[in-house]
Amino acid sequence: MLLPDPSMPWPINRAGVAMIAERESCRLRAYRNYPNEPWTCGWGETDGVGPDTVWTQDYADQRFCDSLRERVTAVLEACTVAPNENQLAALVSLAYNIGVGWKGKTKPKGAKDGLRQSTVLRQHNAGNFDAAANAFTLWNKVNGKVVKGLTTRRKLEAALYVTPPIGSPPEVMPQIVDAESKLTQSPINRTSAVIVGAGTIAGIDPALKAITAAKEVADGAAGLKEPLGTIRAILVDTLGIQPDWILPIVLVCGGLYIIHWRRRQRDEGRA
């Protein structure tokens, strides 16, 4: 794997430079990964690049170093909580890919969101470093679709972000670790099961009339009456569902969906 000249005065640690370089890769002739993207050259540079741009390796390395220095300045300016060297490298990597974003409280016309508008920065500045690390993966889509390469990069950035700097006190590392919890023990799943049960009982229990009456009172709340009335009309008039069955159907379907969602999270290693 080709990496930039290590002798240059890089503004972030070597781990960060190598991670960005490996994700961007270096091409000395202009290219596009997607039709509507700007022309790119070197280590992911777009400024001043056109379809006929050709660079030398030395120039590509220098542009990369200069761009990282600019982003370091912008990241440090945006951080109200000073990042350690690994946090800084991870935040710079994110900004290098998604942009720094716009300044101020009002979004300028045509401006694009970037690091300044990210949950990553907001949680970092709040001192919620675990939440900031989790939020890296929010930036993994193109045109609304998840891109595997972006997901991989966000995970690498998050891992670097939470890595203690060299020389930090070692963390306690137990050798006996609890097994992963069973989904049946999940409070969310247990609550969902109760919801499903309540929906089933409601479908056959005469007490449904009392529940429905309470619901009708809630339906009259400001801002909810019209949309809920429309939904009720679709279910009753169009689909022919009996009014008394609406609440139990909603409870059962909602509870089953939550259980399915939690199982999917577990299968993907996210819960």
Active site residues: 24
User: Is the C-alpha dihedral spanning 105, 109, 113, 119 positive or negative?
Assistant: positive
- Count CA atoms closer than 13 A to 216's CA, side-chain side: 8
The SS3 assignment for 141 reads: strand
For residues 22 and 39, give the distance between their C-alpha atoms in angstroms, rounded to a whole number: 19
Take residue 212 and report the two structure tokens written for it: 């429905």
Q: What is the four-CA torsion angle of 141, 147, 152, 156, rounded to 10 degrees?
A: -20
DSSP label of 33: S
